[in-house]
Amino acid sequence: MYILYPRNIGTSDRADEINYTSMADDLARFMNEHKIHTATLGGHGLGGKLALASASYHFEKVTGVIALDTAPLNQCYIEAFKELGGYLEALRHIDINRSLTAINA
């Protein structure tokens, strides 16, 4: 189990700015470097928003989110997550064999 505490926010050598996109990318990079394929992310306040942003931008790495005392994220994250859910649901209903036959015809 990894528990991460932000100690020096803004002192990363990887980004010139602080925003949820770059912080989510930093977290995904950390997971890759430590061979963490998937994780449930949790956070409080800013950490909760980072967990939600990471789930939006790197959904393949996140199995769940625990966000405590976190104000809602910008609506763009929520809409992107809903859109992703719609795509995944549509993919579940594709008949692969029928689709491959139609392509080859």
| pLDDT tens digits, 53-102 | 899 899 899 988 888 877 665 656 666 667 777 777 777 777 777 766 66
Separation between Cα atoms, residue 91 and residue 83, nearest integer Å: 13
pLDDT in tens, 6-46: 544 455 555 566 788 888 888 999 899 889 999 999 888 88
Q: Locate 9 and state its tokens.
A: 């926010």
Alpha-helical segments (H) within the chain:
20-33, 46-57, 75-92, 96-104
Residue that the structure tokens 């430590």 belong to: 34
Task: Please name which of 30, 11, 26, 24 lies closest in space to residue 65, comparing C-alpha atoms.
Answer: 24
